Amino acid sequence: MKLRIFELFDLILLMSMVLLITIGVVFIYSSSVNSAGISVSQEYIRQIVFGSAGLILMAVAAIFDYRKLVKQAPKLFIGMVLVLLYTGLFGKVVNGARSWLGLGNLGVQPSEFAKIVYIFFLAWYFERTDKVSDRKRFITSLFIMGVPLMLILLQPDLGTASVYIPIFLIMCFMAGIPSRYLFMVILTGILTVVCTVLPVWESEILQRSVPILKVLTNQRLRFVIIAAAGTITLIGIIGYMLFKSRYYYWIAYCFGITTVALIMSIAAGKVLKPYQIQRLIIFIDPESDPLGAGWNIIQSKIAIGSGNMLGQGFLQGIQSHLRFLPQQSTDFIFSILSEEWGFVGGCVVFVLYLVILFRIISIIKTTKHLFGYYVASGILAMFFFHFIVNVGMVMGIMPITGIPLVFLSYGGSSLWTGMICIGILMSINFHQQSEFVFS
């Protein structure tokens, strides 16, 4: 078939993406201007360069037939793991995490690009195990997620690592994994976070002892609880294997979640930096440390609130130009936009993101290739999670995790990852000739 080059590029995706990147550059420039009206940063110029190079990467991804990567997915995944391992050992430390490779001011964040490889490998696994039992598929896919997740957490980069979880959950859901398995992951994650945060919350915010929290603060008692819960889990598993009773199944299910969460909370307390745990605590009560860990979220909410309906006007924002907002060109770019463009400007960004998300859903519905179906689902999960968490973070309804707003936030690695994903979606949309078979 003769390649119709212009038909490769989905105009809806392309225009929405370009508009978001343009808005991002505008407000990255705004973030560089101080109270005297002088630009003190060249980040907006670098973002223009990143965006221009990203268009080339997107075009290459769109032109390339993504189906040719099916057989290469395992090799790409192994390469990704080796790069993440190397980064954790020898990478540059930026903002407290050893997650960058490069020289001087030039560098890339491999964990961002690793999301694409992770999505491809998980899609490859789900496509080729269509007839395998749900339990085996779930356990294996959990391991596939766990390898890059742990390597990124060891850097430690909590924000980037957290993106891998919703990608896993959505792709598992689309692959037909039973919901009870997915809820197991969700409940374990929530309980792990709670068990990690509560001891620090007791000492830093409450500043008094709570008897029931001794289960989490007394290490000997915690190990006793873990041993007891683990024993009950084992009894439940044996009981279910012998008698096939749902009663034993749910005993193993509940106590298994408790056991794993308690163990993972110990590991999280060792791996995560104090400031990362503090971010989760501040989500509960920002006023507990208004001049320290709570400063970012308090100033962000002030900036968004002061924007009202139409905003203060471009370059007229007080919070950003007086430098009250840290990391205002990256994590808190939406705060500046809302302050200067107001509710209307925020709605414009919301609409553009919704257009992209609904366009991806349309591609998922129409694709004829199972591998592309899974890949598009993973990209949908990634974009949605970045958007909902970043916007929720700056509004104070989500914890501060350092997740950028794709296409708007400053940063080449995040921008290129998003643009390559748009190119892959275009390729999936264009190559719809092969048979699409569900399990």
pLDDT digits (tens, 9 = 90+) for 75-93: 999 999 999 999 988 888 8
Report the C-alpha gap between 415 and 93 in whole angstroms.
20
Residue with tokens 């201007």: 33
Residue 407 CB contacts under 8 Å (≥ 6 apart), including other chains: 17, 20, 21, 24, 415, 418, 419
Report the C-alpha gap between 52 and 48 in whole angstroms.
6
Q: Is the pLDDT of residue 3 over 70?
A: no
| Cα dihedral across residues 214, 219, 224, 230: positive or negative | positive
- Per-residue pLDDT band for 434 (boundaries 50, 70, 90) equals very low
- Please name the helix (run of DSSP H) or strand (run of DSSP E) that holds residue 389, with its range, or none: helix 370-395
pTM value > 0.85? yes
Report the C-alpha gap between 261 and 216 in whole angstroms.
11
- Per-residue pLDDT band for 104 (boundaries 50, 70, 90) equals low
- Please name the helix (run of DSSP H) or strand (run of DSSP E) that holds residue 101, with its range, or none: strand 97-103
* Tens-digit pLDDT profile for residues 255-275: 999 999 999 988 887 777 766
* Tens-digit pLDDT profile for residues 36-49: 778 888 899 999 99
pLDDT at residue 360, as a whole number: 97
Cα dihedral value 273, 278, 279, 282, nearest 10: 180
pLDDT at residue 196, as a whole number: 84
Q: Is the pLDDT of residue 101 over 60?
A: yes
Q: Is the pLDDT of residue 435 over 50?
A: no
Q: Is the pLDDT of residue 74 over 60?
A: yes
Overall average pLDDT of the 298-327 stretch: 84
Overall average pLDDT of the 70-75 stretch: 92
Q: Is the pLDDT of residue 439 over 50?
A: no
* Tens-digit pLDDT profile for residues 228-261: 999 999 999 999 999 888 889 999 999 999 999 9
| Least trusted range by pLDDT, from 46-60, 210-224, 286-300, 310-324 | 286-300
Overall average pLDDT of the 185-209 stretch: 83
